Amino acid sequence: MTAALHQPGSATRAMPGPCPAITSRNLVLRPHRLEDAGAIAQSLSDCAVACMLARIPQPYHREDAVDWVQAHLCGSSQGWALAITTGDDVHIGVVGLERRGADWHLGYWLNRFYWGKGIMTEAVGAALDRFLRRMPGIEICSGVFVDNPASLRIQQKLGFTITGCSDLFSLSRNAMVQHVETKLRPQDFRRP
């Protein structure tokens, strides 16, 4: 692969390959299965989770989760959507890395009952580590709503820096919300 394929903002269509299975210290991140739809719907029907995400409608139903999983199973997505699971294969969240235009974007969510335990830092760190090994030189964009400082702390621990602030429409809130934009340069990544 030429160096041009790895330049930030490059218009290339380089892809990281199929969604992997990743084992970290306490978690297994894996491709989604259709049977995950019930757990996804249960987590995303919780407004405390959905309100921190831009593209989740409320109410969120099992059929919404089935549609989302099927889109990833048939390969229509551009990137990875990793199921965060506990040691006994309980689906508790998602880490996604997807291509939007010329940029790669990180998104994630976790069932509210697992918040505050370091799980998301571990999951996002493991996903970024694998992704950056497959896609060296790629910068990753992300962000958080301003009322989600815990998510911003996760990103900052992993090496993301704030690049700006804008208004972003939140489907679950049905309103524009201030959004802190962040970016990770590969050389700044800090493994948890």
On whether the pTM is more than 0.85, the answer is: yes
Residue range 10-32, pLDDT digits in tens = 434 588 989 999 999 999 999 99
pLDDT band with cut points at 50, 70 and 90 for residue 6: very low
Give pLDDT tens digits for 137-177.
999 999 999 999 999 999 999 999 999 999 999 999 999 99
pLDDT in tens, 61-114: 999 999 999 998 887 678 999 999 998 999 999 999 999 999 999 999 999 999
Domains in the chain with CATH codes: 20-188 (3.40.630.30)
SS3 assignment for the chain: CCHHHHCCCCCCCCCCCCCCCEECCCCEEEECCHHHHHHHHHHHCCHHHHCCCCCCCCCCCHHHHHHHHHHHHCCCCCEEEEEEECCCCCEEEEEEEEEECCEEEEEEEECHHHCCCCHHHHHHHHHHHHHHHHCCCCCEEEEEECCCHHHHHHHHHHCCEEEEEEEEEECCCCEEEEEEEEEECHHHCCCC
pLDDT of residue 109: 98
57: tokens are 């409608």
